Amino acid sequence: MANDESRISKGIANRAVAPAVLSGIRTPGECAEDTSPYSIRASSFFRHSTFGIRHLVNPMRILSGIQPSGPLHIGNYFGMMQPAIALQAEGEALYFIADYHALTTLRDAETLRVNSHRVALDFLACGLDPERATLFRHSDVPQVTELAWILSTVAPMGLLERATSYKDKLARGMSANVGLFSYPILMAADILIYDSDVVPVGKDQKQHIEITRDLAVKMNETFGQVFKLPEARIRAATETVPGIDGQKMSKSYGNNIDIFGDEKETRKRVMSIVTDSTPVEAPKDSERSTIVQLYSLFASKDELANMKERFKKGGTGYGDFKKELFEKLWEYLAPMRKRREEILRDKSYIDNVLARGAKHANEIANQVMQRVRAAVGLR
């Protein structure tokens, strides 16, 4: 996995932490002797080193979020959900439904409620295991907005003015509300409030993690060592999944293929992938083809090599390649559709998972907020 993932840790190195302020903070894989003042977390466990010294081993903490602004698409799946699901075996994972964030664009209460529930359902259906990872709603941890306020008091205006996602949204004609502008501050709070080590995301979130690190450094410089610095975890092969028009797949571009779209609609979306006008018999360029890029997500190495070969050879039309892509995609997603049906049969399952998740997320957030309030003088 290390080969196809790039760790983004631009600029500032993770600093040493002062135990007096940072009680309980760990770095990934870090060991501290149990005579230290570090507090013992529920998630920590003990091991014995070869020297017979008892060490406290804190697992890496993994955090990510997803907005409930509509049905999830395969860009969300390969960019964030699949890597996040893989990481749940490697540390303490916390994943949340970013409903506060969705408020910056969604103004219908019932739609927000339905979408939030649906994101939970879809994430669980895709393989999030609530026994290993914590799933919760952003708004079940309202302390995060308090932290966002505190961070906003040290955030330079210029830092936010340079945020590309805000500038992109303005360029696409969205009206500029303050929430949209300060979105990166809330996102920084989302990450820092759990002492997160690693944040699995698609490439479009890279700048937000850099802003998070900048704000953490600013806080540490101003108030002493309050926060540790998280790292983005971006999987190079799927950092930007293209949509049916070849641009980044996004709900707001209308070029999405949904994970749980119905068969007819999904087939239609795949068959509308934009191609050039190369005739059937002519060789085709597989390197720049959206069909091939999407096929590579679902097919085996051999299947992919075979499709590329047939692109080069000519004699097969884009329509036939799209049909193959649809079949592969549909087959790949079948176990998730099945799991989704099963979850839907248990009416209280999702609510129970979210309630448990909220409880655990609150425990962590409360500990960190105590530290933050003490550091800035609110307590």
Q: Which is nearer to ligand TYM, 38 or 122 (CB)?
A: 122
Pair 189, 151: CB distance under 8 Å: yes
Interface segment toward ligand TYM; rule CB under 6 A; list 59-67, 174-182, 276-284, 296-304: 59-67
Tokens representing 333 are 């997603």
Residue from 203, 206, 251, 284 carrying the catalytic annotation: 251
Tokens representing 228 are 């540790």
Contacts of 186 (CB under 8 A, 6+ apart): 100, 101, 144, 145, 148
Angle at which helix 349-376 crosses helix 206-223, to 10 degrees, equals 40
Residue from 218, 248, 268, 323 carrying the catalytic annotation: 248
Pair 68, 119: CB distance under 8 Å: yes
Please report, for residues 81, 89, 234, 320, the alpha-carbon distance to residue 207 in angstroms, rounded to integers and kept in the order given: 19, 26, 12, 39
Task: Kindly state whether residue 120 participates in binding ligand TYM, applying the rule CB under 6 A.
Answer: no
Q: Which is nearer to ligand TYM, 56 or 121 (CB)?
A: 121
Q: Which is nearer to ligand TYM, 63 or 375 (CB)?
A: 63
CB of 49 to ligand TYM, least distance (A): 34
Contacts of 185 (CB under 8 A, 6+ apart): 148, 151, 152, 155, 160, 215
- Each residue 188-217 as x (binds ligand TYM by CB under 6 A) or -, in order, gives --xx-------x-xx-xx--x---------
Q: Has 248 been annotated as catalytic?
A: yes
Q: Which is nearer to ligand TYM, 14 or 165 (CB)?
A: 165
Task: Kindly state whether residue 75 participates in binding ligand TYM, applying the rule CB under 6 A.
Answer: yes
CA–CA gap between residue 371 and residue 112 (Å, rounded):
32
Looking at residue 346, the DSSP 8-state letter turns out to be S
Interface segment toward ligand TYM; rule CB under 6 A; list 216-224, 236-244, 265-273, 324-332: 236-244
Q: Has 169 been annotated as catalytic?
A: yes
**Catalytic residue numbers, as ranges:** 169, 248, 251
Binding site for ligand TYM (CB under 6 A): 63-67, 75-76, 79-80, 98, 101, 187, 190-191, 199, 201-202, 204-205, 208, 238, 240-241, 248-250
